[in-house]
Structure 1
């Protein structure tokens, strides 16, 4: 597997990974042969159980259990909200406030793969903090209290600030330097490629109780190269 996870921490109880963008968390239902974190882990460890998922194009921290007991323990920690997750995202536009909380229920739609704000849905809460405002874009920190499918993507789209390159809840277009650099020129025989072509969402840190002693441990996954390069260009041309 070329696009393998990076092991951030491991012991007899659990494995903490940095999942790269483009890698599934679990096998695809229609094509089980596609690479995934689960298939990678099951080849590497005698016991490997996914505790939570990240979308395919989201990078960042994931934790997996190495026994059924640990899997149950961590599942309970997530369901009881005894974990702290921090994400970063690049969104279109500028949110209406530098700090705000989105408390809107989410429910699956008739399309199956899509989620939507719906009063009949499950409770979902996301705290948003503006880190840096650029011309046409904003870098934000996200603290979800709940873990609904596509929660961050749906909530930010609800604000009117969809995540860059979100194919489901935004325009799906990547980040192009020409969008921020005046007098940007490309040779006529070349087509500009996006500097960032995938969902601009990164699971930066995760705090969980360790199953052996309950002590809170924090793990971080540094920003990948594509996000760092995007922020560098924004700092240079759109601050």
Structure 2
């Protein structure tokens, strides 16, 4: 599998993960990390996406750079922006989803009302027509399935997300859409539309004002 490299820096590479590809090896099938290692040599993963999510993933090109990235992620100094599609009317069209997450017997996660160590997500949305709505999401924490659970809690599970009862589709319509961070005094900003999924492709023109998601009034923390 040819993994697109969308940005190459001496300390890191930014790649575009396809939908349906696991991050690590699964059942003897190579994952994203193995494909990237084979393509460009040794790299250090610093964050990951789950199988149903496509989009931008960072790999450090040295152990030292990986350690610096871990500090940036821990201090929430890397802004990540996601694009999702869902059918239905959400409980609110913009704002924040915040709460603790706990695992259910089925292996899924759910949002709770407690706030001991909450997952936090800010979002904006816009109607695309025929009951379909686009969501620009920024997570401020890094919990497993955080965005999928946040959307479920809004009453609009992500299109194609079978685990959380999203409407049927040929893919899960969640994409790591943009990244913004400072690296050694350099501002790194990158955003691009997903290339997989007809519903994403059809919505590009309507969502063109989201191509610089950091321009939206998201709080810094």
Same-fold status (TM-score > 0.5): yes
Runs of 5+ unmatched residues, structure 1: 175-196, 235-239
Distance 1:141 1:51, change over 3 A: same
- Are 2:139 and 1:166 equivalent residues in the alignment? no
Task: Give the corresponding residue for 2:146.
Answer: 151
In structure 1, C-alpha distance between the alignment counterparts of 2:144 and 2:116, rounded to whole Å: 12
Kept in 1, the 8 Å contact 2:79–2:181? The answer is yes
Task: Give the corresponding residue for 2:195.
Answer: 224
Superposed displacement of residue 91, structure 1: 1.0
Task: Give the TM-score normalised by the residue count of structure 2.
Answer: 0.83
Kept in 1, the 8 Å contact 2:194–2:201? The answer is no
Superposed displacement of residue 46, structure 1: 3.4
How many residues were matched structurally? 204
Task: Give the corresponding residue for 2:33.
Answer: 38
Structure 1: 4+ residue segments shifted above 4 A: none
Q: CA RMSD in A?
A: 2.2
Task: Give the TM-score normalised by the residue count of structure 1.
Answer: 0.78
User: What does 1:208-219 correspond to in 2, within 5 Å?
Assistant: 208-210=181-183, 213-219=184-190
In structure 2, C-alpha distance between the alignment counterparts of 1:41 and 1:229, rounded to whole Å: 26
Task: Give the corresponding residue for 1:68.
Answer: 63
- State the structure with more CA Rg: 1
Superposed displacement of residue 147, structure 1: 1.5
Superposed displacement of residue 27, structure 1: 1.8
User: What does 1:82-101 correspond to in 2, within 5 Å?
Assistant: 82-101=77-96
Kept in 2, the 8 Å contact 1:106–1:121? The answer is no
Superposed displacement of residue 108, structure 1: 2.7
Runs of 5+ unmatched residues, structure 2: 207-221
In structure 1, C-alpha distance between the alignment counterparts of 2:91 and 2:167, rounded to whole Å: 22
Q: Find 1:207's aligned residue among 180, 198, 209.
A: 180
Q: Find 2:111's aligned residue among 117, 120, 139.
A: 117
Matched residue SS, 2:135: strand
- 1:148-204 deviations in whole A, cap 9, x for unaligned? 111010011011111011111114511xxxxxxxxxxxxxxxxxxxxxx11011111
Q: Find 1:59's aligned residue among 45, 54, 60.
A: 54
